[in-house]
Amino acid sequence: MKIVSFHTLTIRHRDCDYEISCFVRPGKQETIAYLHGLGSTKYDFFGAVNQERFNDFTLVAFDLPGCGNSSYFDQVTLEIDDLVEITHKTFSSLGLDGLSLIGHSMGGMIALLYARNYPEEVKRFVNVEGNLAPEDCGVLSRRTAQLTWQEFVEQDFMKTLQAEFASLPYTGARVFADTFRKAVADQAFHSYCVSIVEHSDSGKLMPIFKQLRLPRLFIYGEANKHLSYISELGNSGITVVEVPGSHHWPHRDSPEFYFKAIHEFIKGSGFRGSNL
């Protein structure tokens, strides 16, 4: 088994030095880089390390500021655009380019904007229920964003969210409920929710996704097949995959299906076209 190495990088952004925690599993083929969702960490991608199908790939994931083992400064409000630039600085520090980039949820939004801003650095993009439209802001981000920071703290709203996710009949939701309060700083969580909603409501994300000139895959859980834009994505030449028996966290609900779909997309099988 190949050795996974863990690193802490110092990334300077807006006059602050962020300590960014990442893991790298080297391989002979191209690099697959992963951006986690809100309330999660780099370990959402750690399951790929044990997937034999990825043995020849370099695998990389890191904790966004205020998540996992990465630092956060309460006096600095970070938004999604900041996270895009911190991602660029982190990948540059690791010497990465020519990526197959995967982003889940909030990470999907960050990855989308990264691919737009730095198209020469991304070969393929896998969007795992990343925000594309206002309807993507549901139980978590929109309700949080509607609260001021003081209201968020006074209501202990993280506890409310924890109880709601714990009640869902999906492994991924229950794992999220058990871990997200430890995985993200409260202030980072609240600030990121506000920025997620602003971007989702802007009407700009879907056109960006459709206009990217690279192979794209959109993955969603069966529980979210009601999303109104799924057929629109398929009609735009984007590969669309529904993960059976899954909610918003397919890497936990149906990991074998999920990782197989990603591998087949990266290797080229099952890909229905691109705008190259």
Q: How many domains does the chain have?
A: 1
Give pLDDT, residue 273: 33
User: What is the Cα–Cα distance from 81 to 265, expressed in whole angstroms?
Assistant: 28
Phi, psi for residue 52 in degrees, rounded to 5: -55, -30
Residue 91 domain flag: yes
Q: How far apart are CA 271 and CA 15, in angstroms?
A: 43
pLDDT at 275 over 50: no
Average pLDDT, the chain: 94
Domain-embedded: residue 263: yes
d(CA 90, CA 96): 9
Return the HEC string of 226-272.
Answer: CCCCHHHHHHCCCEEEEECCCCCCHHHHCHHHHHHHHHHHHHCCCCC
pLDDT band at 228 (very low <50, low <70, confident <90, very high): very high
Kindly report the CATH number assigned to the domain that includes residue 85.
3.40.50.1820
Mean pLDDT, residues 206-231: 97
> Helix, strand, or coil here: 11?
strand
Look at residue 78 and tell me if it is in a domain. yes
Given the structure tokens 């990389």, which residue do they identify?
Answer: 60
**Per-residue confidence at 1, pLDDT binned at 50, 70, 90?**
low
Specify whether the CB–CB gap between 127 and 216 falls below 8 A.
Answer: yes
CB 33 within 8 A of CB 100: yes
Range of the domain at 80: 5-133+203-267
Task: For residue 173, tell me if it sits in a domain.
Answer: no
Percent of the chain with pLDDT over 70: 97
State the Cα angle at 92 between 267 and 27, rounded to 5°: 35
Task: Answer yes or no: are the C-beta atoms of 166 and 215 closer than 8 Å.
Answer: no
pLDDT tens-digit profile of 68-124?
999 999 999 999 999 999 999 999 999 998 999 999 999 999 999 999 999 999 999
Distance of alpha carbon 173 from alpha carbon 252, whole angstroms: 9
Q: Answer with the residue of higher pLDDT: 18 or 30.
A: 18
Residue written as tokens 């980072």? Answer: 188
pTM: 0.95
CB 16, CB 84: distance < 8 Å: no
Residues 257/244, Cβ–Cβ less than 8 Å: yes
> What are phi and psi for residue 195, nearest 5 degrees?
-70, -40
Report pLDDT for 271: 33
Question: Does residue 48 lie in a domain region?
Answer: yes
The rounded Cα 162 to chain-centroid distance in angstroms is: 20
What one-letter code names the amino acid at 206?
M
Does position 274 have pLDDT exceeding 50, yes or no?
Answer: no
Residue 185 lies in a domain: no
The average pLDDT across 11-24 equals 98
Is 179 a member of any domain? Answer: no
Structural domain includes residue 174 = no
Q: Please state, in angstroms and as integers, the Cα–Cα distance from residue 14 to each residue in 11, 118, 137, 177, following that order.
A: 10, 20, 28, 32
DSSP notation for 22-64: EEEE--SS-EEEEE--TT--GGGGGGGGG-GGGTTSEEEEEPP
